[in-house]
Amino acid sequence: MTDHDFTPGRRSRKGRPSMSPEAQAIADELARRAAQMWAESDGGLSIREAVELAAFRMGVEVPQTVTEPAVE
């Protein structure tokens, strides 16, 4: 493995609290998207930048629910 290889989920979660299945699914999707963006950037993005961009794009894609103001 070279200094520039990035494998999502490679780090150990030992000693950290378990994530809920929903949180784990989001983390896995974020890691997958970030790894893809990083690989496609050909060195144009750092891993951190790829994660930030993937998180931003995931946030933009999430359907927003409009809450109605409370009726008194």
**53 domain-assigned:** yes
Position 7 pLDDT exceeds 70: no
Position 72 pLDDT exceeds 70: no
**7 domain-assigned:** no
**71 domain-assigned:** no
The Cα–Cα gap between 14 and 65 comes to 36
**44 domain-assigned:** yes
**70 domain-assigned:** no
pLDDT tens figures, 15-71: 778 889 998 999 999 999 999 999 999 989 999 999 999 999 998 775 656 666 666
pTM over 0.75: no
Position 14 pLDDT exceeds 90: no
**5 domain-assigned:** no
pLDDT attached to residue 68: 67
Domain range enclosing 55: 21-59
Domain count, the chain: 1
The Cα–Cα gap between 65 and 39 comes to 33
